[in-house]
Amino acid sequence: MFLQVVSGDLVSDVSPGAVAATHRRHDAVVTATLCCVPISGSSESGSSGGKDKTKKPGRYNIIGLDPRKQFLLHIATGAEIEKDTRLQKHLLHAVGQMEIRSDLMDAHMYAFKRSVLQEVLDRKDTFQSLKQDVVPYLVWSQLKSEAVLSGIRQAEEDGNEKVSFPNNQVMVSQILANASTPSFHELYSMDPDGSAQTRKTHKCCAYIASSSSYCVRLNSIQAFMDINRDVTGEADHLLSDNVIGPSPKLGTKTTVGPHCMLGEGSEMGDKCQVKRSVIGRHCRIGSHVKVVNSVVMNHVTIGDGCIIQGSVICSNVQLQERVVLKDCQVGAGFVVTAGSEYKGESLARKEK
């Protein structure tokens, strides 16, 4: 018996059934879905707009795979990478050969063997996260077992090997000349006829989605903006036919550019411009309004002469006349008074 866990912030067309099939085929304790890092930004962070202009170092996943890309041998989540990273010697001794990748993201779509997951959670009551705790533990324990089988001394486990990778991947070979057991990937590889060889420890597998798959985490404001633009452009296949409602009412000389979405029942006045933006349902937009690179949710009222650029406007917001917003986030139900100008601000109602 196995179960699948998918993060609620994953937007993807990767088939959970394909992940499940890989998991069953290898009889793995866990199968993690790996996708290419989105070109627009790193997998773990994104600019949120607003006042924080400090440029932070990129944050990546460091993934170790066997040469056939079947098994997950190493995972370091959110590691800050500049030029090199360090791997413990026992990892290299245990696996024999490992491919290190920094161009893949953990999509937070997992398949677990139910009994093993329950056992880990029962034994490790301090574990709080599948990504940060459970998956790394399962990967670590499979290598720990194999290291013991290979006769690696415990003292060697404290040693490190530095791995440099100027590109996104590098091959690391550390085969023991006097090893009496096969290397890790030989122990677990599938035979040509599809039958599995004898295994001595549990297996952690990887399902690598194709480069054409859409796979993005909605874990930042910037990611929210990017995904909304994607689903009106290159990822429009993610939308079903009933997402876009009937044509909204548009005033004279109002233009709606490409990569835009207008929700059912929304109305726009005269001489408005909408570019690369999403407008939700039942919005009331006045005349001479410009909306660029923005997301406007449902039941929003926008007065005449407003300019909205690079902003997220939540539901039931009211923008009075001549409001100017650039790189702002406006919380649900907030009222922006006439003539106000904000740049890089987060506006929300005060809690009572």
- What six digits make up the tokens of 341? 């100008």
Would the pLDDT of 53 be above 50? no
C-alpha 303/C-alpha 268 separation (Å) is 10
Would the pLDDT of 79 be above 70? no
Tell me what pLDDT residue 85 has. 66
Which of the four pLDDT bands, split at 50, 70 and 90, describes residue 226?
confident
Domain layout of the chain by residue ranges: 2-216, 240-347
Would the pLDDT of 241 be above 60? no
**Edge-to-edge order in the sheet of strand 307-309:** 255-256, 273-275, 290-292, 307-309, 324-326, 341-343
Q: What are the DSSP calls for 7-70, one per residue?
A: -TTEEE---HHHHHHHHHHHT-SEEEEEEEPPTTS-SS-----TT--PPPPPEEEEEEE-TTS-
Instruction: Name the phi and psi angles at 221, rounded to 5.
Output: -65, -40
Tell me what pLDDT residue 349 has. 85
pLDDT tens-digit series, residues 118-153: 989 988 889 988 988 899 889 888 866 554 444 433
Tell me what pLDDT residue 283 has. 95
Tell me what pLDDT residue 83 has. 57
C-alpha 260/C-alpha 70 separation (Å) is 40
Contact partners, residue 124, CB within 8 Å, separation at least 6: 133, 134, 137
Q: Please give the class, per CATH, of domain 240-347.
A: mainly beta
Question: What is the percentage of the chain residues whose pLDDT exceeds 70?
Answer: 68
Would the pLDDT of 295 be above 80? yes
C-alpha 167/C-alpha 122 separation (Å) is 40
Among 51-60, 74-83, 275-284, 314-323, the least confident range: 51-60
Chain centroid to CA 336: how far?
A: 33
Average of per-residue pLDDT across 70-88: 71
Tell me what pLDDT residue 248 has. 74
Tell me what pLDDT residue 234 has. 64
For the chain, give the mean pLDDT: 77
Average of per-residue pLDDT across 282-308: 96
Tell me what pLDDT residue 132 has. 87
Tell me what pLDDT residue 209 has. 94
Among 12-26, 184-198, 306-320, the least confident range: 184-198
Average of per-residue pLDDT across 327-337: 95
Question: What is the percentage of the chain residues whose pLDDT exceeds 90?
Answer: 38
Which of the four pLDDT bands, split at 50, 70 and 90, describes residue 154?
very low
Q: Look at residues 113, 251, 97, 121 and name the one whose alpha carbon lies nearest to residue 185.
A: 97
Which of the four pLDDT bands, split at 50, 70 and 90, describes residue 165?
very low
**Higher-scoring residue by pLDDT: 170, 300:** 300
- Residue 316's Cβ-count burial label (10 Å; 0-12, 13-18, 19+) is middle
Which of the four pLDDT bands, split at 50, 70 and 90, describes residue 314?
very high
Residue corresponding to tokens 């660029």: 292
pLDDT tens-digit series, residues 87-119: 767 667 777 788 888 889 899 999 999 998 998
Tell me what pLDDT residue 195 has. 53
Tell me what pLDDT residue 162 has. 52
Tell me what pLDDT residue 12 has. 92
Tell me what pLDDT residue 43 has. 40
- Beta strand pairing status for 284-285 and 301-302? parallel
Tell me what pLDDT residue 243 has. 42
- Residue 153's Cβ-count burial label (10 Å; 0-12, 13-18, 19+) is exposed
Q: Look at residues 304, 299, 303 and name the one whose alpha carbon lies nearest to residue 333.
A: 299
Tell me what pLDDT residue 44 has. 42
Tell me what pLDDT residue 48 has. 39
**Higher-scoring residue by pLDDT: 146, 54:** 146
